[in-house]
Amino acid sequence: MAASHFLPAQRNEPLSPLRLALFSGNYNYVTDGANRALNRLVAYLERQGVAVRVYSPTTATPAFKPQGTLVSVPSIGIPTRPDYRLATGLPKAIVADIEAFKPNLFHLSAPDMLGHAALKLAEKSHIPAVASVHTRFDTYMQYYNLKWVDAIFSGILKRFYKRCAHVYAPSRCMADLLEADGLAKDVHLWTRGVDCQRFNPQHRNQAWRQSHGVSGHDVVIAFAGRLVREKGLDTFVSIIRVLKQRGLHHKVVVMGDGPERAWFGDRLPEAIFLGHLNDAELATAYASSDIFLNPSMTESFGNVTLEAMASGLPAVCANATGSNSLVMHGQTGYLADALDPDSYADCLAPLITSTVLRQQIGQAGRKRSLGFEWDAVMADLYTRYLEVLEQQSSPVRQSSSVIHSVPRPRLRAISEAPIEAG
């Protein structure tokens, strides 16, 4: 059984009219880009005086300390993905906790069983619900031999997102896709940010390179992320094979872990596998590499790509959602045909052979990353929340005069609320 902790809901008067109930399938038990963004969101909202309560599965060995108040919901392990858990819904005790908290807005971070149960409760309670999109769930089926369920899954997504007051997409291309597919009716942007002090070219470390057997003339191609099929691991392996066939000398560094670690390692026997890294180690590993390669087609934004750009690396990515909102082809990196290893190799070749080009492209990527400031991103979302409250006409709605009295959120230093990683 998963570890749980259940804290009594408290009705302290907040500084903001917003009382947010956030529902997440994975808030902190496995590290990924989605839950790190959600933790930053909760930390930011609480600094603005917002009352927040988070409902998510938990484990006895979380990856990092959660921001805010986390209530454990019942969950079961997923047989094919033992590192993840599936919430089984909202039992009466959890519903009672939500009612005691008295939220006036639900935020749903995934269209899973927990999200559907929370949406049903929101509708029953006449509380508006918003949803954020964190990944391309619709693309997962092809990686697990479930392509035949695409139409069914698409119908489920439509029924879920169209019942939400707002849907927040992390990139313009993802928002366009949701609208084009008719998956949502009111799509807004909630992009992601990066800590440009933490992820910085200044963290490049020659001693780190030497300790991992990287010489001064070696060109390091970095991969970062969960080692799962949907991250394009098979495409990555094919790309490296093409580079070897072309005689393009390089070394591969893999940052991250996951259930496909053994499969990936068998096919990349010469790669340097670093496993899960804390923030300081990750920053050093990025900056001490030379090129970032991300062939994933399932990204809705691409947090790792932005971290690599902030670290001064030229990025070579799939021309797919997420990456094509970050990477400017030929300027901050290159966008390759998503499933064509030769296309990636064509993009990588000039970077491998030219130190000057790597530096030029990397500097341009670093400059672009400076426009993604976390608190500005969170302030925009907070404003969207208040718009939903203002538009809501149910009895639990706060008066518009109260909402208008809340000033636009003031930007504060990101360092005030760091995310602790395990």
The tens digit of pLDDT for each residue in 97-147 reads 999 999 999 999 999 999 999 999 999 999 999 999 987 555 544 544 555
Domain CATH code at residue 298: 3.40.50.2000
Q: Is residue 2 part of a domain?
A: no
pLDDT, tens only, 204-220: 999 999 999 998 899 99
pTM, full prediction: 0.76
Which uninterrupted H or E stretch holds 141?
Answer: none
pLDDT > 90: what percent of the chain? 66
Number of folded domains in the chain?
Answer: 2
Predicted local distance difference test score (pLDDT) of residue 33? 82
| Cα→Cα distances 129→292, 293, 307, 385, Å | 37, 37, 31, 10
pLDDT > 70: what percent of the chain? 85
**pLDDT of 400 higher than 60:** no
Token pair, residue 63, equals 């990856």
| Cα→Cα distances 379→86, 186, 300, 384, Å | 31, 19, 20, 9
Q: In whole angstroms, what is the distance from residue 182 CA to residue 314 CA?
A: 35
The verdict on 333 and 377 lying in the same domain is no
Q: Are 23 and 94 in contact (CB under 8 A)?
A: no
Q: Is residue 29 part of a domain?
A: yes
The verdict on 252 and 152 lying in the same domain is no
Q: Are 388 and 166 in contact (CB under 8 A)?
A: yes
**Residue type for position 279:** D
HSE-CB at 85 with a 13 A cutoff on CA atoms is 26
**pLDDT of 335 higher than 70:** yes
Q: Is residue 249 part of a domain?
A: yes
The verdict on 27 and 162 lying in the same domain is yes
The verdict on 350 and 304 lying in the same domain is yes
The verdict on 155 and 179 lying in the same domain is yes
Q: In whole angstroms, what is the distance from residue 374 CA to residue 213 CA?
A: 35
Q: Is residue 329 part of a domain?
A: yes
The verdict on 255 and 320 lying in the same domain is yes
The verdict on 345 and 396 lying in the same domain is no
Q: Is residue 5 part of a domain?
A: no
The verdict on 166 and 304 lying in the same domain is no
Phi, psi of 47 (to 5 degrees): -70, -20
SS3 percent helix, strand, coil of the chain, rounded to 5, is 40, 15, 40
Q: Which of 166, 195, 164, 185 is nearest to 37 (CA)?
A: 195
The verdict on 214 and 311 lying in the same domain is yes
Domain that holds residue 315: 201-369
pLDDT, tens only, 228-239: 888 999 999 999
Q: Residue ranges of the alpha helices (H) in 113-149? A: 113-125
Q: Is residue 10 part of a domain?
A: no
pLDDT, tens only, 77-95: 888 777 789 999 999 999 9
The verdict on 389 and 359 lying in the same domain is no
Residue with tokens 């006036």: 104
Give mean pLDDT, residues 55-76.
Answer: 95
The verdict on 281 and 205 lying in the same domain is yes
Predicted local distance difference test score (pLDDT) of residue 410? 42
The verdict on 399 and 255 lying in the same domain is no
Q: Regarding beta strands 187-189 and 220-224, do their DSSP bridges make them parallel or antiparallel, or are they unpaired?
A: unpaired
**Residue type for position 390:** E
Give mean pLDDT, residues 238-266.
Answer: 97
Q: How confident is the model at residue 415 (pLDDT cuts 50, 70, 90)?
A: very low
Which residues are bridge partners to 53 per DSSP?
A: 21, 69
Q: Is residue 131 part of a domain?
A: yes
Q: In whole angstroms, what is the distance from residue 372 CA to residue 376 CA?
A: 8
Strands (E), 226-310: 251-255, 272-275, 291-294
